[in-house]
Amino acid sequence: MDSSFAERIQMMTIQIVPFFMAIVLHEFGHGLVAKMWGDRTATDAGRLTLNPLAHVDPIGTVAIPMINMITGIPLLFGWAKPVPINPTRFRKYRPGLFWVSVAGPGTNIITGFLAALVFGVFYKYVTPEFSLYEPLLKMMVAGIQINFALALFNLLPLPPLDGAKILESFLGYNASQMLQQVERYSFFILIALLWSNALVFLNGPISFLTHLALGVSQAIFGFSFA
């Protein structure tokens, strides 16, 4: 087996669990906040759950991560099947749309910081002699990075991403309709952005948030990196 391909398989093995956790928590956050604003659509559809099988999308959860592995993209990327949301059921349309849209990326940002705290506990109190020490450390760091990457990607103002819905919550009817018209081309735009490496500008913010989260963890637990 080619050594580089073996490394990609190892990368996917380390990142697959935090990847699934990140996308499931993202969708769960949307559904939970939607319920808080009066929309029970996700709940009634059985999608307000942490069961990964309920959120698997053939393209975003299976095909795209496999393409990641084959092409050597260093951070596993993809998405889950969006939870069904009906904004007309919100108690107040615009604030409901805003907070439900923010909930997904917000959940990932919170999870990224929580993952850093778990990393801190593990790094300080578990010795390197533990057989799974290095793989678990890598998995935790991957969890931090994946959550921040998913949050920032979803904040792009391209429908149906959360950034577009956040923007829509501030727009008038005509402008919202124009923005929604872009959605028919969104899949092709996203694939082009991914494969052209145009999203490299997200690396800076992802790196900043990762170092910030690890720095907070380091300050709390008082450990120092070797």
Q: Annotated catalytic sites, by residue?
A: 27
What is the residue type of 74?
Answer: P
Neighbour count for residue 76 (Cβ, 10 Å): 23
- CB-based contact 157:163 (threshold 8 Å): yes
List of residues 6+ apart from 102 with CB closer than 8 A: 162, 166
Nearest 5°: the CA angle 56, 19, 145 is 150
